[in-house]
Structure 1
């Protein structure tokens, strides 16, 4: 009976991890769809600039290039460490932070694109850390205090992840406040 209960518990945890992994893959797909949309929009801008050049309206073309570059810069915060998991999850956090008035700073420096951790495990660990930081930051009432610092670096044998964020209330005990605390860390 105990063994059966343990297997049921392990299955439930594995299912939760699979669901979490699926959600992270959805975030990655969403990031790629955003890239595709940006490429499409940029193409339209180039068509307009090309027409300005054909009509010898160079000042208009130059001004439109400046406006377009500013809009792209402001709208598209992309992380590019070379590691797809880190890039997708941190980029997603930047986008969520921007949408929720959370200032997100990054310090990312990988020794190599390849890190010595399975992608699945990295998705679960990094995804949970980022989700927790965003969730806590959303609860902070003072807008200037909504801040997350994401530091990720590696050397030839280890990956280091440090995420710092403000919280609305100091917590002395580190226990999940989520429903089902057995499957949340």
Structure 2
């Protein structure tokens, strides 16, 4: 029993020391993690040897030697972090102070509550009990230091600090009070009621902490998704900006071209004029928007993805019946819809090894006051809705755009559906509600 208690004590000490260093120093050198573990075990063996000698030969010299070895081993472990030398020395001294304070606090509590315990047990067992008890108090003190001074993570609430400290505090209460059972002989039930109460309280606190950690993890996951979507939207707006800049450049160049044409006509230099106009036409064809509905979002996205599809040997066909001033969706939300739709289509086709990939999209504002988008594309063989749903659960971003499309459609009282047969189909319908944009009244 004594050996098991000793092993448990030193494993706990390794955990406490590593946790304390991780929380107070900056940037652990992960590439040296195996070496760190070996050094940590070696340091604990040195400390165990010193404590065994100290228990058999309790002198001032042995106490000083054990303290210096403890300081030295802690400093060696600090070398696995990138913090400054000053910070490392500060952490070494702080940990030694906390260790001494933990031992003093536990010794004081134990001697006050159990004055007969020393006389009733052998020295080795007593030393083991005092050692693990002091480690529990040290753990509480290290938690306090970490929660109060840690700068690597956002500040925790007072409630969280209280909850996380409650577990070791209640543990030390149980540990200190267990030998006091003889004081409750008159009413032994009371002792066990107090013990059960402490254990139940520990379970409740741990449950609350787990729930808070779950909520925090969920929030981080959601934020990561939002950051990905913001990045995606930024890319789409950059595409719009580039399309706008190209349009402005064409307009600016046209002024110069008209001036040159007039010069050639006035000078009757028709051969030069013919060469010039041929070059101007080629330049316009290389930069103009292939699609011209009057809506910048639709025109730029279709032009951009048409180009991307051509580079990847994907057939791209767009059928348009859009009256630009009847579209019931603002430009931002239209970016969400079209950007995610076309992006999913392109990725699905690129992932499909077939040489006959295609993307077909139809956008229209209908006579019965509806804004519709129908999209279909080839996809890898064996793709199913179950496969898509599983991918959405197992990946941070894949498939998340489909949810954004649906949410945007529902925002405008419309709907969005998708299905997989031999092809992947997407359909969106949004009613045109604004009276000025309606045909049917």
> Does structure 2 retain, via aligned residues, the 8 Å contact 1:83–1:114?
no
User: Which of 121, 130, 136 is the matching residue for 2:348?
Assistant: 136
Unaligned runs of 5+ in 2: 1-211, 400-441
2:246 aligned partner: 34
How far apart are residue 66 of structure 1 and its match?
5.1
CA distance in structure 2 between the aligned counterparts of 1:60 and 1:47, rounded to whole angstroms: 14
How far apart are residue 152 of structure 1 and its match?
0.9
- Cα deviation, 1:86-134, whole Å, max 9, x if unaligned, reads 2332222123334444442211222553433454333222111111222
User: Which of 365, 368, 371 is the matching residue for 1:154?
Assistant: 365
Q: State how many pairs are aligned.
A: 183
Structure 2 residue matching 1:113: 3-state secondary structure? helix
CA distance in structure 2 between the aligned counterparts of 1:66 and 1:39, rounded to whole angstroms: 17
> Does structure 2 retain, via aligned residues, the 8 Å contact 1:77–1:95?
no
How far apart are residue 5 of structure 1 and its match?
3.2
Higher relative contact order (CA 8 A, sep 6+): 1
Change (3 A) 1:44 1:165: farther
Structure 2 residue matching 1:172: 3-state secondary structure? coil
How far apart are residue 32 of structure 1 and its match?
1.3
Question: Does residue 19 of structure 1 match 2:231?
Answer: yes
User: As a proportion of its length, which structure holds more helix?
Assistant: 2
TM-score, length basis structure 2: 0.36
> Does structure 2 retain, via aligned residues, the 8 Å contact 1:150–1:162?
yes
How far apart are residue 141 of structure 1 and its match?
5.8
> Does structure 2 retain, via aligned residues, the 8 Å contact 1:137–1:166?
yes
User: Which is worse superposed, 93-102 or 59-68?
Assistant: 59-68
Structure 1 residue matching 2:325: 3-state secondary structure? coil
How far apart are residue 3 of structure 1 and its match?
3.2
How large is the RMSD of aligned CA atoms in angstroms? 3.3
CA distance in structure 2 between the aligned counterparts of 1:120 and 1:42, rounded to whole angstroms: 30
> Does structure 2 retain, via aligned residues, the 8 Å contact 1:151–1:161?
yes
How far apart are residue 41 of structure 1 and its match?
4.1
CA distance in structure 1 between the aligned counterparts of 2:354 and 2:238, rounded to whole angstroms: 31
> Does structure 1 retain, via aligned residues, the 8 Å contact 2:261–2:273?
yes
TM-score, length basis structure 1: 0.75
> Does structure 2 retain, via aligned residues, the 8 Å contact 1:116–1:157?
no
